[in-house]
Amino acid sequence: MSPSGLLFEHASSCEHDPSGHAPDHPEGPGRIQAIDAALAAVDWLGWERRVAPAATREEIEAVHDRALVEQVQRLSATGGGRLDADTFAGAGSYRAALHASGGACAMVRALVAGESRVGFAALRPPGHHAERARAMGFCLFNNVAVAAQLALATLGVARVLIIDWDVHHGNGTAEIFRRSGEVMYASIHQAGIYPGTGQLADAGSGPGLGCTLNLPVDAGTEGEVWISLLEHVILAAAEGFAPELVLLSAGFDAHRADPLGSCRLETDDFAQMACHARDFARRVGAPLGAVLEGGYEPRALSESVLATMAALAGAGEAHSIAPEPIYTPRAAGQVGRYWSL
């Protein structure tokens, strides 16, 4: 067992650079550089650092159409270009995307094998907007979905809980697992912004009905609301789901300093959510891994990542709070149709 956790990184995360096609693009190498500098200053919090391998084509194509994979590969090989209005590939993007998904897969393999109870894949490009056949929203391949599918298909895991606290709804992850009863996808996100999905009434479909938990909140929402929704709705429902693996789509753009969202979370709020997720994972006996998603203000991002990693490794206590009076009962009314809360 690693004494703190397992951290997966790769140099290619800094080779994916959309600024060659969009000079002011917010999702750049500086995000990883800020995280690395902050972690280095605290001796990596005692975490074991591992080099993220590249995902195989088979692993990527378990959740993505081959045509998408070939499109990203071809575009990178020819110098790069636009995949959609705000999503670009450059010469190093295909390699970076393979290692971003591969790091998430390696983390899951190590967690399931019992090498550590917690892990963090600090890699880019992010992934939760990428749909089965479409790269979008800065995302090329859906890293958390690739890792979750690997756990289900080859590692003997029966049920995976994915908690997405990025300020934007993870439409790609939601759609990939929409009809799956093996994955509970739970997202807290700001309503009315990109990508425009994630309505409260959308609970999945078919065999996956009830396994999609969309908990939208308004602009200006503070951390207490997010923590209440996590504690009293998501984790309460997840008790009945009984996951064997917990994954976090760990975006940090709900921070009050972030330029792409309008919520008002503080760094300590991310630490509290991580404490609640950590304690839940321990309670159900499931390992817990985090996969980096958004977060576009370097200082807020790096401080929030450090606070999250420290909490996952055991720092701090999860403080139970009274249910917030507006969003929490509304969400509980929807989710309670499918799960005992």
The residues annotated as belonging to the active site are 129
* Inter-residue contact 254 to 265 (CB < 8 Å): yes
Cβ atoms < 10 Å from Cβ of 4: 20
User: CA-to-CA distance for 338 and 341, rounded, in angstroms?
Assistant: 9
Rounded to the nearest angstrom, the gap between the alpha carbon of residue 84 and the centroid of all alpha carbons in its chain is 21
User: CA-to-CA distance for 122 and 31, rounded, in angstroms?
Assistant: 10
Residues with Cβ within 8 Å of 199's Cβ and at least 6 positions away in sequence, in order, are 214, 216
Q: Give the DSSP H/E element, type plus range, for residue 121.
A: strand 118-121
**What is each CA distance from 134 to 76, 129, 166, 171, 293, in whole angstroms?**
16, 9, 20, 11, 17
Q: Which amino acid is at 215?
A: L
What DSSP line would sit under 206-274, residue for residue?
GGGTT-EEEEEE-TT-BHHHHHHHIIIIIHHHHHHH--SEEEEEE--TTBTT-SS---BB-HHHHHHHH
User: CA-to-CA distance for 167 and 225, rounded, in angstroms?
Assistant: 13
Strands (E), 10-61: 48-51
Structure token pair of residue 168 = 């934007």
**What is each CA distance from 251 to 117, 149, 203, 266, 308, in whole angstroms?**
21, 20, 22, 13, 11
